[in-house]
Amino acid sequence: MVAKVGTVIENEKWKIKVFAPPKEHGLAHVHVLAKGYNAEVKISLLTLEVIGSTKFHKRTAKGIIKYIYENYEFLWNCWEAIHGKDEKTKFKTSSKKSR
C-alpha cells in the first residue's frame, strides 16, 4: 500500500484523515471532519473511542465509530503505511461485539 497522508476515505457526511509525523504523534487514531459544518473528532484505532472533545452530537459520534469499525482494516492499513506496523496494539475486530 502506498502511504497516503490526509483524506484516506470519505462518504457523503465525513472525511476521515490520517496524518504523518512530525505533525502527528501519539497512539493510532484517525481524524474525522464533517462535510458542510465545523465539527471534528479524533477516534482511537486502538479502542474505537472518542479522543478529547468534539462538536459532534453523541449519536453522530456513535455513527462515526460504526463507520470506522466497518472500514477498520483499511484505516489500520493506512495508519501502518504511514507510521509503521505494531500488531500488538491493533484493535481486534473479530473479538469485538457488533455496535
The answer as to whether 1 is a domain residue is: no
What pTM value is reported for the model?
A: 0.81
**Residue 63 covered by a domain:** yes
Note whether residue 97 is domain-resident.
Answer: no
Dig out the grid coordinates for 27 from the structure.
Answer: 497512539
> For residue 99, is it within any domain?
no
pLDDT tens digits, one per residue of 68-97: 999 999 999 999 888 887 655 666 655 444
The single residue listed with the C-alpha cell 466497518 is: 70
Structural domain span for residue 20 = 6-92
What's the start-to-end Cα distance of the chain, in Å?
28
pLDDT per residue over 1-22, tens digit each? 555 678 899 999 999 999 887 7
Residue 63 has pLDDT above 50, yes or no: yes
Does residue 17 sit within a domain?
Answer: yes
Q: Is the pLDDT of residue 34 over 70?
A: yes
33 assigned to some structural domain: yes
The total of structural domains in the chain comes to: 1
The DSSP secondary-structure symbol of 87 reads G
